Amino acid sequence: MKILCTGSGGFLGHALKSLCECDEVGFVGYDIASGRDILKRDEFLTTCMAEQPDVVVHAAAVADLYDSDKNLDKNFSINVLGTYYVGRICSILNIPIVYISTCCAYGNQGERRIVDEGVEAIPTETYAWSKLAGEKALGCVGSIRGCILRLGTFYGPGMRDTLFNRVVVERVFERRTIEVHGDGEQTRRYVHVDDVAAAIIRAAAFCKKNAWTNERNNPLPIFNILGDTEYSVNDTIDLVSEITGLIPKVKYVGQRDGQIIGQKVACDRARTYLGWTQKISYRQGMADFIEAYRRERDQREQYERQDQARRNAVEDMRDAGVDG
């Protein structure tokens, strides 16, 4: 199987590429950082015709919540119009698509005990609205095969600086204050990026073999991909403190507009049709990330000490009148 991945230079794209290499799955990257822009339809068409992938994984997006709010035109162009362009080319060439969406599309579902793929999406954030609009845009491209993956909050080595999981780790080590919106009891079903990459490969294989094209209210079948357990913001802070042995400084501030309070999202369909289950627990995943972060931090500090020692030595030589 050969995958072409848009947004291949991002956090998720890197993890997917690594897993494809381990599983001997062909991987073709397509990313704006290397000059490959999904908004340039003819170039994307030419690449798909030349590479002939079995499946396109569309992961390119404005993925930061704050960036989405601040840059509305950019957000719409990439997350909605870009998705239409990618989907249209996939339709023309009859290439299945795996569209990377978000469980944030479900919004706040009140007292509903279980949120599955059949529940109406009611987003509360610009980013989530744009990803849901991208899903619907795939219904405008003509006949298309594939599926939609609504991902929970994923984390791991290489995650964005703005992700709360990373913010907590950095600020605990730096003895800086962690700002928490509301009371910190809002929950997420965190899933490790490697587990997400595994789900994508399974979804790609599923779409390559199956002609499932649509279902009620959506142009393509949807699969939820999340961790097994809900963790609150406070739980994450406590977990990082427990693993590091450090005491965090926490400040509670006003609730963020559009905040999703809880995620009781079911992943039964992914287990049934894709054979996917979470492999890496949140505790293990965060412990591994903290260990990697600690090593990187120690190496950085060692380099800075060595660099400062060299600077001091040069300065001493100059003071002594020695030509360095």
CATH of the domain at 87: 3.40.50.720
Residue 217: per-residue pLDDT: 64
**Residue range(s) defining the domain that contains residue 220:** 2-157+190-226+263-280
Tokens 């340039």 correspond to 40
Sign of CA dihedral 63, 282, 147, 135: negative
Please tell me which residue, 115 or 175, carries the higher pLDDT value: 175
Residue 216: per-residue pLDDT: 57
| Within a domain: 316 | no
| Within a domain: 268 | yes
- Biggest alpha carbon–alpha carbon distance for the chain: 81
| Within a domain: 181 | no
Contact in structure between 103 and 226 (CB atoms under 8 Å): yes
DSSP labels for 42-92? HHHHHHHHHH--SEEEE--S---HHHHHH-HHHHHIIIIIHHHHHHHHHHH
Among 259, 296, 8, 11, smallest CA distance to 155 is for 11
Q: Under 8 Å CB-to-CB from 136, ≥6 apart: which residues?
A: 218, 219
Report residue 128 as tokens.
């989530």
| Within a domain: 26 | yes
Angle between helices 164-173 and 233-244 (to 10 degrees): 40
Q: For residues 295 and 318, give the distance between their C-alpha atoms in angstroms, rounded to a whole number.
A: 35
Reported as a pLDDT band with limits 50, 70 and 90, residue 235 is very high
Contact in structure between 98 and 200 (CB atoms under 8 Å): yes
Share of the chain above pLDDT 70, in %: 94
Q: How far is C-alpha 286 from the geometric centre of its chain's CA atoms?
A: 16
Residue 268: per-residue pLDDT: 92
Q: What is the pLDDT of residues 56-89, one digit of tens each?
A: 999 999 988 889 999 999 999 999 999 999 999 9
Please tell me which residue, 115 or 57, carries the higher pLDDT value: 57
Residue 54: per-residue pLDDT: 96
Total domains in the fold of the chain = 1
| Within a domain: 321 | no
Q: For residues 85 and 214, give the distance between their C-alpha atoms in angstroms, rounded to a whole number.
A: 19
Task: Specify the amino acid at residue 239.
Answer: L
Q: What is the pLDDT of residues 254-313, one digit of tens each?
A: 888 777 777 678 899 999 999 999 999 999 999 999 999 988 887 777 777 777 778 877
| pLDDT value at 47 more than 80 | yes
Contact in structure between 224 and 253 (CB atoms under 8 Å): no
Please tell me which residue, 210 or 133, carries the higher pLDDT value: 133
Please tell me whether residue 133 adopts helix, strand or coil conformation: helix
Long-range contacts at 39-43 (CB < 8 A, ≥ 24 apart): 39/77, 39/78, 39/81, 39/82, 39/85, 41/85, 41/88, 41/89
| Within a domain: 251 | no
Residue 212: per-residue pLDDT: 63
Q: For residues 140 and 242, give the distance between their C-alpha atoms in angstroms, rounded to a whole number.
A: 49
Candidate from 14-23, 89-98, 183-192, 300-309 with smallest mean pLDDT:
300-309
Contact in structure between 200 and 18 (CB atoms under 8 Å): no
| pLDDT value at 141 more than 90 | yes
Contact in structure between 38 and 88 (CB atoms under 8 Å): no
Nearest 10 degrees: Cα torsion 65, 71, 72, 77: -100
Q: For residues 258 and 10, give the distance between their C-alpha atoms in angstroms, rounded to a whole number.
A: 25
